[in-house]
Amino acid sequence: MFEISVKTHFSGAHFLADYPGVCANLHGHNWEVEVFLRGRKVDSVGMLVDFRQAKTVIHETVDSLDHKELNRLAMFAHQNPSSENLARYLFRALSKRLNSRRVKVHRVWVSESPGTSATYWEKA
């Protein structure tokens, strides 16, 4: 089994509705994202996936969140844009675009501040 990862980042604001503390107020983060892809075989060049192609798709998806108020986006209309929910959203959005017979998004890691993170994956 092979696993590769692509790291990226974006800046975005959010608030956590019904949270009993200061995070209920609008505030921003410099979010970090790492996407892990897995597969059993490399291609004839020796790559699981072309990093350039994976980065293009990942950056397009993450860039749609950049400098946005996350609570106003459709995917968070009925849930808080917590780190956990953001990791799940990115996992599912990227799986639709990157999964193939050879390669699957394995997990997505999201950090809103140094030392804290959330990871989302689904059973195969």
- Yes or no: say if 82 and 92 are a contact pair by the CB < 8 Å rule: no
DSSP state of 17: T
Each of the 124 residues of the chain gets a pLDDT tens digit; together they read 999 999 999 999 999 999 999 999 999 999 999 999 999 999 999 999 999 999 999 999 999 999 999 999 999 999 999 999 999 999 999 999 999 999 999 999 999 999 999 999 998 7
Q: What is the DSSP string of 16-84?
A: -TT-SSGGGS-EEEEEEEEEEEEES---TTS-SS-HHHHHHHHHHHHHTTTTEEGGGSGGGTTS---HH
Query: Is residue 91 classed as helix, strand or coil in its secondary structure?
Result: helix
For the domain that residue 27 is a member of, what is the CATH number?
3.30.479.10
Structural domain range at position 56? 2-120
Split into its structural domains, the chain has a count of 1
